[in-house]
A and B are shown apart, each in its own frame.
Chain A
Amino acid sequence: MNYLDFEKPLAEIEGKAEELRAMARGNAEMNVEDEARALDRKAQDMLRDLYKNLSPWRKCQVARHPDRPHCRDYIEALFTEFTPLAGDRNFADDQAVMGGLARLEDKPVVVIGHEKGHDTKTRIERNFGMARPEGYRKAVRLMDLADRFRLPVVTLVDTPGAYPGKGAEERGQSEAIARSTEKCLQIGVPLVSVIIGEGGSGGAVAFATADRLAMLEHSIYSVISPEGCASILWKDAEKMREAAEALRLTAQDLYKLGVADHIVKEPLGGAQRDAAGTIKAVGAAIVSLLKELEGKSPAELVAGRRKKFLDMGARGLAA
């Protein structure tokens, strides 16, 4: 278990309980169970308190937690017959974006998402979930495929942002993102998106321009990272707490602003403490959001999606 900085007191208590139990295992005469249980209860209370009112910055930390379930975990657990489809047919296959055909409750869909990787090796392979133009062009290709064969599209968003690299710029990062967003708006099939961790800027918009957008309780979606915003507006990257506050990037704020349509509750202590439970809840949300869109004609879907985004910004926090 990786603890976040604000979870340190919790780590201490859980560590103590663990220590006691380890000691008792070595000495049959010792009875520490009562004491250890008391510590467990204390830890549980502390966890509840810590997560009851997470500040926006803490939510950013939770959203980026390395132990959170990632795109691949969701695909493996929720979908059957997942058949990855690779490549943008132009340059490469971007490992930061995974996608393909799969079945959700036996119904065929196209699933696309950012994959961050779970250890050093896979994180490097997946470029920490930062897609290059090839990734967005692969997504465009898969959305076209879905459109042609009338398959709903499910996107799982989890990216710090599009990759800021030399090659990515040379190959048209901005054009690739613009085309992916455009494709999201054009397809005549249902498009449901879930932000499972970080929704970083344009790199997230390219997948999240959906009929229905769900966000996990502790996920974020923002125009810029709090660190980036702090370094520009506060001229000090250390002011990320203030920036996270000002940017209104939590799922709860975005729901109020009409950007997120649905919030999926996370288990106590965040998705990283119960991956299976989180994945199950996300699965149920996707199924129910897809059901809302069932029976709509392609023209209705496109018109509805356009209207949704044309109306964006009509609602402020005060209004």
Chain B
Amino acid sequence: MNWITNYVRPRINSIFSRREMPENLWTKCDECGTMLFHRELAENLNVCGNCDHHMGITPRRRFEALFDGGIFAEVPVPMPIADPLQFRDQKRYPDRLRAAQKATAEPEAMLVAEGEVGRTPIIAAAQDFSFMGGSMGMYVGNAIVAAATRAVERRRPLVLFSAAGGARMQEGILSLMQMPRTTVAVEMVREAGLPYIVVLTHPTTGGVTASYAMLGDIQIAEPGALICFAGPRVIEQTIREKLPEGFQRAEYLLDHGMLDRVTHRKKLREELISVIRMLTHQPPPVMGDLPAPGTPEETAAPTSAPAQESAEK
């Protein structure tokens, strides 16, 4: 409009925001507002030291903290046809994809890996909410099929960390078809007699919840995670009343019989080791004897992404 709005104001804003968070050394907890020093936050696996709020964490960081010594090998995921519908809203879909790839330095919204957890080899898949809201398109479908196939081939348990706003609208019906497709993948693991454990993290909604994320042998959620089919805003608009406090949060689902457990991120690894060992008839773990996970890197920052990028509903 004029040079004040175009030039001066952004400059002033940038100076102030820089002062608030010098070189991203500090992160503000979105729940309680406490300023958290990046190194402590990383050590705490992106859980707020003040209020225990579980912030987003990238699949890579999660795997470093999960696998013994932080060592894992990526399971390759085939790239699907790019932009199958030639989708265009205000931006072209390939442009949105490229922007997400640049921002996250990841090819897509799911990472699949194999490695040992407490000396038990497993396959793990984790959804990346910072990549277009973790939305499930054909790549995520491919990733889950690849994870399930590898689990069956190597006869290993599959642990899946879900985080997504839903299906990826830009892939239209083909994203919707990933619901039955990933369900076939879950069936493959189940039929092979292997454990399939789902860890639901904040947020898991829409078509993702209504397919692979609700079909685990064991359903664990992180504290405070929003888990739903239809989001709270859609429901409020439909029924025109305020929803109760904590509605659709992990603890609420636990109360309503939809989950087996709600487990703190720091306790999750130990619990997974214990559960997997019991399901696969191994002797009890001697925790002190088991290898430790990887140590957190300093550079890790909590992930966040605009949920509206992907939400199905």
Residues of A with Cβ closer than 8 Å to B?
161-166, 168-175, 177-179, 181-182, 184-186, 201-202, 205-206, 209, 221-224, 228-229, 232-234, 242-243, 246-249, 253-254, 257, 259, 306, 309-310, 312-319
Given contacts A166-B235, A178-B215, A309-B177, contact A185 B183 (CB under 8 A): yes
Taking a contact as CB atoms under 8 Å apart, the answer to whether B84 and A223 are in contact is no
* A311 CB, min distance to chain B CBs, angstroms: 9
B172 partner residues in chain A, CB cutoff 8 A: 222-223, 246-249
Taking a contact as CB atoms under 8 Å apart, the answer to whether B89 and A243 are in contact is yes
* A308 CB, min distance to chain B CBs, angstroms: 9
Taking a contact as CB atoms under 8 Å apart, the answer to whether A169 and B173 are in contact is no
Residues of B with Cβ closer than 8 Å to A?
80-81, 83-90, 138, 141, 145, 167, 169, 171-181, 183-187, 206-207, 209-215, 227-230, 234-235, 238-239, 243, 247-248, 256-258, 308, 311-313
Taking a contact as CB atoms under 8 Å apart, the answer to whether A313 and B312 are in contact is no
Instruction: Report the separation of the CA atoms of residues A315 and B257 in the bound assembly, to the nearest whole angstrom.
Output: 39
A316 partner residues in chain B, CB cutoff 8 A: 81, 83-85, 174
Taking a contact as CB atoms under 8 Å apart, the answer to whether A232 and B308 are in contact is yes
Instruction: Report the separation of the CA atoms of residues A259 and B175 in the bound assembly, to the nearest whole angstrom.
Output: 11
Given contacts A223-B172, A313-B138, contact A166 B180 (CB under 8 A): no
B176 partner residues in chain A, CB cutoff 8 A: 201-202, 205, 221-223
- Is chain A's interface secondary structure helix, strand, loop, or mixed overall? helix
A257 partner residues in chain B, CB cutoff 8 A: 84, 173-174
Residue of A nearest to B205 (CB): A174
Known contacts A221-B173, A246-B85, then 12 further A-B pairs from the complex at CB < 8 Å, ordered by chain A residue: A164-B238, A166-B243, A182-B186, A185-B183, A185-B184, A257-B174, A306-B187, A312-B141, A312-B174, A312-B177, A313-B141, A316-B83
- Please name 28 pairs of A and B residues whose Cβ atoms are closer than 8 Å in the assembled complex, sorted by A: A164-B230, A164-B313, A165-B235, A166-B239, A169-B229, A174-B213, A174-B228, A174-B229, A177-B211, A178-B179, A178-B214, A181-B179, A205-B180, A223-B312, A232-B308, A249-B172, A254-B173, A259-B173, A259-B177, A309-B184, A310-B184, A313-B81, A313-B141, A313-B171, A313-B181, A316-B174, A318-B86, A319-B84
Q: Select B235's contact among A164, A172, A229, A314, beta carbons within 8 Å.
A: A164
Taking a contact as CB atoms under 8 Å apart, the answer to whether A246 and B181 are in contact is no
Taking a contact as CB atoms under 8 Å apart, the answer to whether B313 and A171 are in contact is no
Q: Select B86's contact among A233, A243, A317, beta carbons within 8 Å.
A: A317
Instruction: Report the separation of the CA atoms of residues A221 and B181 in the bound assembly, to the nearest whole angstrom.
Output: 17
B256 partner residues in chain A, CB cutoff 8 A: 170-172
A-B residue pairs, 10 tightest by C-beta: A316-B84, A164-B230, A174-B209, A312-B177, A233-B89, A174-B229, A177-B210, A223-B176, A174-B210, A313-B138
Q: Select A181's contact among B90, B183, B185, beta carbons within 8 Å.
A: B183
Taking a contact as CB atoms under 8 Å apart, the answer to whether B211 and A173 are in contact is no
* B282 CB, min distance to chain A CBs, angstroms: 29
A253 partner residues in chain B, CB cutoff 8 A: 173
A184 partner residues in chain B, CB cutoff 8 A: 180
* A216 CB, min distance to chain B CBs, angstroms: 16
B183 partner residues in chain A, CB cutoff 8 A: 178, 181-182, 185, 209, 309
A310 partner residues in chain B, CB cutoff 8 A: 145, 181, 184-185
Instruction: Report the separation of the CA atoms of residues A319 and B84 in the bound assembly, to the nearest whole angstrom.
Output: 8
Taking a contact as CB atoms under 8 Å apart, the answer to whether B88 and A202 are in contact is no
A319 partner residues in chain B, CB cutoff 8 A: 81, 84
* B273 CB, min distance to chain A CBs, angstroms: 26
A169 partner residues in chain B, CB cutoff 8 A: 228-230, 235, 247-248
Instruction: Report the separation of the CA atoms of residues A175 and B183 in the bound assembly, to the nearest whole angstrom.
Output: 12
B230 partner residues in chain A, CB cutoff 8 A: 162, 164-165, 168-169, 173
A306 partner residues in chain B, CB cutoff 8 A: 184, 187
